[in-house]
Amino acid sequence: MESSNRRIVHMDLDSFFVSVERKLNPDLIGKPVIIGGTSGRGVVSSCSYEARKYGVHSAMPGARARQLCPHGIFIKGNMQVYSENSRLVTQIIEDAAPLVEKASIDEHYLDVTGMDKYICDSFTWTKQLRQKIIKESGLPISFGLSTNKLVSKIATTESKPNGELFIEPGKEKAFLAPMDVNKIPGVGDKTYITLCNLGLRKIETIQNMSIEKMQSHFGEYGKSIWLRANGISDSAVETHWDQKSMSTERTFHTDTNDKRFLKELLVKMVEELGFDLRRSEKG
């Protein structure tokens, strides 16, 4: 099928953990809410847009978040409750869409290619689904719609919070052109610095380069960057996937060099992981 005929939706629940907490306690609405980071060694797992204004972001140490936003409301979080809400949203989406990929606890890809012929145009259909999710789950959600997963995901980010954006076929490059190169998925801090040092600060500058020139600077990775900068992607919506890894972890509240304690903890963690592997029929 021609790529221009594809219709791929990316849906992402806005500040998911925070939104769930606000659903349970409306008094938190409009306030700087920070999930995680409640202990001395804890890290932020999510935060509201009000907290982000102060520079708080996910994966930040809780101590740093308190420095930046001392009046923030810190909540430990409840993964069981978040998972229940995630399953509710997933069920609503799967009941409506023909092909769904659950990319994470709060985001989904939908392949709605060809639905225009049978129901209504894909943008109207997705808008209606979004409203259904908001009504039935009580959670805000945003989406991006385009001809591929890459552009749709970026469109979702640009539509947040609680928005929707349709990038029409053939307009992918124009949509991406004015953005900073760090908006390209996969471009981390080091690559961003290298691109800037080469004078490539805007995606448009990469679009105007040849793919061979990008490869001369970055090898095969340069080809990947060039394709993404031009909004080119043929990744399919995967309805099934195999888990690649399993892990377990512990966060210490204080440093320790107690070898006996560390050894006992390590043995316990290995036993826990082994149990999970056997339960999943992986070991």
Q: Is 107 a catalytic residue?
A: yes
Which of 50, 101, 107, 172 does the annotation list as catalytic? 107
Please give the Cα distance from 138 to 219 (Å, whole number).
Answer: 47
CATH architecture type of domain 3-14+80-167: 2-Layer Sandwich (3.30)
Residue 229 has a pLDDT of 96
What are the beta bridge partners of residue 218?
A: none
CATH architecture type of domain 174-229: Orthogonal Bundle (1.10)
**Using 50, 70 and 90 to split pLDDT, how confident is the model at 256?**
low
Residue 144 has a pLDDT of 98
- Of 3.40.1170.60, 3.40.30.10, 3.40.470.10, 1.10.220.70, the CATH number of 17-78 is 3.40.1170.60
Please give the Cα distance from 31 to 50 (Å, whole number).
Answer: 6
In this structure, of 81-90, 167-176, 253-262, the range with the lowest mean pLDDT score is: 253-262
CB 10 within 8 A of CB 141: no
DSSP H or E segment with residue 104: strand 99-104
Average pLDDT over residues 100-112: 95
Q: Where are the domains of the chain?
A: 3-14+80-167, 17-78, 174-229, 246-283
Are both 3-14+80-167 and 174-229 of the same fold?
no
Give the number of other Cβ atoms within 10 Å of residue 188's Cβ.
Answer: 8
Average pLDDT over residues 121-128: 93
pLDDT of residue 254 exceeding 80: no
Cβ neighbours of residue 98 closer than 8 Å, sequence gap 6 or more: 111, 112, 115
Phi-psi region of 148 (alpha: psi -120 to 50; beta: other; left: phi over 0): beta
**Using 50, 70 and 90 to split pLDDT, how confident is the model at 184?**
very high
* pLDDT tens-digit map of 265-274: 787 778 677 7
In this structure, of 184-188, 222-226, 245-249, the range with the lowest mean pLDDT score is: 245-249
Give the number of other Cβ atoms within 10 Å of residue 203's Cβ.
Answer: 27
* pLDDT tens-digit map of 77-91: 999 999 999 999 999
